[in-house]
A and B are shown apart, each in its own frame.
Chain A
């Protein structure tokens, strides 16, 4: 019921490439978060979405409620974007379920 799937699991890109990471969930949600975990382990919240699209710098996040799908895009990727990107969904209340993460490596 609460499955959250991310793809791809691993992604290697050349600097400057456009990157897309996908997240699918199985039932209706209250909100979806994109998190970034740096190689050192720290976690940063990038976006919270309940509908539509958000943009912050080179990062764009979209969500399609009908298709139960969200994407995180990185334009003009840079080596400092190398991190694990995690999709998290919130159902009722504050119960969160997490995808397994996408490990991104951007090569100079």
Chain B
């Protein structure tokens, strides 16, 4: 398996623009997690899905952030409109029946 795939790997955009981050979990995994990592706050869980259903979105910072999982092999995290404080590395991770989460390479987002 190729592991968790994220795209794009890097994104530079201007304040106010819409940003869409994509994730393909490992086949067969039924949990998918979105994390954000910044220097100030470290790693934070934003939202997670189980069997494509959002279970806990309490970490989503505000209404500008939304996440979807239309099927078992694809999820998106959207920021609209983006702001400079959204600049961070966004990680997607998936897990199956075991406890171990497998992380994607991350998307490094810079909002100017």
A: residues with CB less than 8 A from B are 31, 33, 35, 41-45, 48, 86, 88, 93-101
Set A31, A93, A98: member contacting B43, Cβ < 8 A: A98
Residues of A near B106 (CB, < 8 A) are 41-43
Q: Contact at A95–B105, with CB atoms within 8 Å? A: no
Are B100 and A41 in contact, with the CB atoms below 8 A? Answer: no
Bound Cα distance A23, B58 (Å): 24
CA distance A33 to B100 in the complex (A): 8
In the complex, what residues of A have CB within 8 A of residue B102's CB? Answer: 45
A96 to chain B, nearest CB (A): 5
B61 is an interface residue with CB less than 8 A from chain A: no
Known: A45-B101, A48-B100. A99 touches B42 (CB 8 A): yes
Contact of A98 among B42, B99, B100, B105 (CB under 8 A): B42
Among B31, B56, B99, B108, contact of A95 (Cβ-Cβ < 8 Å): B56
Instruction: For A86, list chain B residues within 8 Å (CB).
Output: 42-43
Please give the distance in Å from A93's CB to the nearest CB on chain B. Answer: 6
B45 at the interface (CB under 8 A from A): yes
B42, A101: Cβ atoms closer than 8 Å: yes
1/0 contact string of B19-45 vs chain A (CB within 8 Å): 000000000000101000000001111
Is B44's CB under 8 angstroms from A94's CB? no
State whether A96 and B45 are in contact (beta carbons under 8 Å apart), knowing that A31-B99, A48-B100 are contacts in the complex: yes
Chain A residues with Cβ under 8 A from B69's Cβ? none
- Chain B residues within 8 Å of A45, by CB: 100-103
